[in-house]
């Protein structure tokens, strides 16, 4: 069984996204621990990339700050290995195909297994090209998480049938970032997904308030929040982990 499924075993899952190295890895570790202590069921760790096409200004800013601070993939691997001593919930990397390619796909994915990373999300990897990484992910027991966007339309059932770990349902068109309201008809997308797979579905992009989290949890198996957490790290810097913990608690409480 995929380790990721554990995140969805105790009711609706709260998935927290944090960019590694913004403002530094010590703060990243403290923020991850604070999120987990306050109810995060799965942690999505962003590996910074110089051209993060799926990201809005908040997470782009975090990428640039981390890279400016000299963060490297090797540092992140060593950091996660250390973090795994304290953090028992499933963890996945979110990054871009170029990061994996340039590191060497087999080296990257085998290292994920060695350090305790359970899955990989590559938002710029088209479904049709996932065979470039899928055999390696299966070889090393790392789930390649698929995304379904509002534009996926007639490909939804196909993507759902082949999904691993969990399905990342993109709630809105465009890039990541908080939104005042979510207008896409997600219920009908989820209906098609449910007809084709029993893998858990989590909704991300644009969710920032407890009310949004509750509404999205009502129609899915979990909620993914990134920009709102990254904003706290940008605003409070090294003091951010306590604010992250309080925020995660408010979101998780709303979803219960």
Q: What is the mean pLDDT of each run of 10 residues along the chain (256 residues)?
A: 90 98 98 98 97 86 96 98 98 97 97 98 94 97 95 90 96 58 79 95 94 96 97 98 98 96
The answer to whether residue 6 is domain-embedded is no
Tell me the CATH number at 45.
3.20.20.70
Write down the pLDDT at residue 16.
98
pTM exceeding 0.75? yes
Distances (CA, A) of 53 to 21, 29, 126, 186, 219: 19, 25, 13, 23, 28
Is 5 part of any domain?
A: no
Q: Considering the domain boundaries, does residue 33 fall inside one?
A: yes
Q: Tally the C-alpha atoms within 13 A of residue 139's C-alpha that lie toward its C-beta.
A: 13
SS (H, E, C) 182-213: CCCCHHHHHHHHHHHCCCCEEEECCCCCHHHH
Identify the domain containing residue 239 by its residue range.
12-255
How many domains are there within the chain? 1
List phi, psi (to 5°) of 147. Answer: -110, 140
pLDDT of residue 179: 47
Domain assignment present for 3: no
Collect contacts of 158-161 with beta carbons under 8 A, ≥24 apart: 158/127, 159/127, 160/192, 160/193, 160/195, 160/196, 160/197, 160/199, 161/196, 161/197
Cα dist from 154 to 52, 123, 182, 190, 203, whole Å: 26, 19, 21, 13, 19
pLDDT at position 55, please?
83
Let me know if 74 is exposed, middle or buried by CB neighbors in 10 A (0-12, 13-18, 19+). Answer: exposed
Establish if 2 belongs to a structural domain. Answer: no
Residue 7 counted as domain residue: no
- Cβ atoms of residues 64 and 230 within 8 Å: no
């Amino acid at each position: 069984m995929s380790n990721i499924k554990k995140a969805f075993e105790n009711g609706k899952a709260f998935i927290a996204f944090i960019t590694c190295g913004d403002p530094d890895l010590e703060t990243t570790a403290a923020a991850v621990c604070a999120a987990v202590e306050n109810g995060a069921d799965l942690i999505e760790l962003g590996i910074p990339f110089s051209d993060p096409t799926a990201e809005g200004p908040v997470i782009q800013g975090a990428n640039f700050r981390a890279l400016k601070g000299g963060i490297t993939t090797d540092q992140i691997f060593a950091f996660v290995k250390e973090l795994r001593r304290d953090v028992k919930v499933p963890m996945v990397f979110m990054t871009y195909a170029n990061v994996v390619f340039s590191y060497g796909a087999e080296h990257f994915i085998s290292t994920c297994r060695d350090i305790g990373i359970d899955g990989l999300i590559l938002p710029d990897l088209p479904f049709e090209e996932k065979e470039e990484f899928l055999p390696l992910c299966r070889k090393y027991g790392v789930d390649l998480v698929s995304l379904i966007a509002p534009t996926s339309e007639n490909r939804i059932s196909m993507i759902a049938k082949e999904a691993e770990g969990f399905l990342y349902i993109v709630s809105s068109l465009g890039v990541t970032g908080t939104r005042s309201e979510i207008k896409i008809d997600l219920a009908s997308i989820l209906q098609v997904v449910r007809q084709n797979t029993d893998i858990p579905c989590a909704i991300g992009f644009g969710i920032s308030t407890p009310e949004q989290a509750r509404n999205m949890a009502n129609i899915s198996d979990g909620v993914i929040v990134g920009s709102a957490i990254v904003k706290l790290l940008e605003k409070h810097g090294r003091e951010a982990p306590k604010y992250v913990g309080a925020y995660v608690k408010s979101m998780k409480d709303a979803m219960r």
